[in-house]
Structure 1
């Protein structure tokens, strides 16, 4: 039996079976990987910038699909209403490849649009209040950046009495309405990209959408593994037949001599 299994003809069959088995298993793992990746959130298509007025409205909550979208806004900054959002990180790589963990301030300045409404704009980050970096551009400007929805106040301790004048702890549309009283405010806020003047960039990711599992790829993976199992079955079938045939050939001479 061993001589039959290790014969040159059978060794070729063994090698072919191993190659087929490895290939089918790897193909199955590849399809399984495609299936798993399909369920992960991924960056959505990043459309061209649109006017902020089409996505951020007055008195209406921002659509979830609008978060992270690139927009442009044209108007005049109202320096008298500028605020600092406390306890914020710059969210950018510091010199030397290290991530800066310094706490500072977002510089939040409302942009008065042509229709008189205000669009909150995070112009950038600063390590400390004051300084030339916080200077507000004058005249009409066009700001490019990404939209972010209004921040909730549930996870942020509300402390209006503890903060100095001109500082807030979150960029909440509801809170800003009370601070900028008597003005029409658009929902959400715009993060300027690039930042204004010498301010440090505040990073914002493009919109992300949830993945959709592609069950077809899981079925493909199962098919490849079934083929691998069938290859093993056929190998066993050929080896068994070869051993049986060899045994019958060995018995035939003995039967002829006895006759």
Structure 2
């Protein structure tokens, strides 16, 4: 599984609007990786190190975002060294990158960004807006959305390929309470396909969006077809969609 730690007092205090989680979640989902846990922690060494220790031990990949800049509250790298019980060491590749990036603005506060936990590597200094820091299965990303989004595709390209998740969407004009028990029975019938029910408010087109996900297209398509047909019989079906393509409902193709 993949875990994500978002770091920053500014997120918890609502000083800034969080914008990094969605691109991370959508990126991992697109290549077949499941994000199972996300934490938001303050700018303290104890909080960051504690979250990293806990999640690193049971995650296939761990992502941190935030706290790698030059200011006094950018302490993620120091906290990671504490979490792994290793010293901070100057990375010459990162130092060279920072000198090139900052030119005459290079200073001791900027130089501290090159102090990395022992065992780290710096990737892609010649690609994009900022390099990628990796230590084993841990990837360290900046909190600035522009810099983070610049790295997501490079990070994903480093991971072994996975089978993609197939999806089907079913849009309904009905309240969840009308079909909740029936849908629970469908989920028990086909555990290989997960079914999510997402209500929306003040939407004239539909009231609930069902999303089915699974590794096998045929499983997802079969389950989506049965659900869509039943919803059609109740008079609730609006339309269908998703990566599985067309869904046959009562002999007619309904989909994208």
- Fold shared per TM-score above 0.5: no
Question: Which structure shows the bigger proportion of residues in strand conformation?
Answer: 2
Pick the structure with greater CA Rg. 1
TM range (shorter): under 0.3
TM-score by length of 2: 0.26
Q: Which has the higher contact order (CA 8 A, sep 6+)?
A: 1
TM-score by length of 1: 0.26
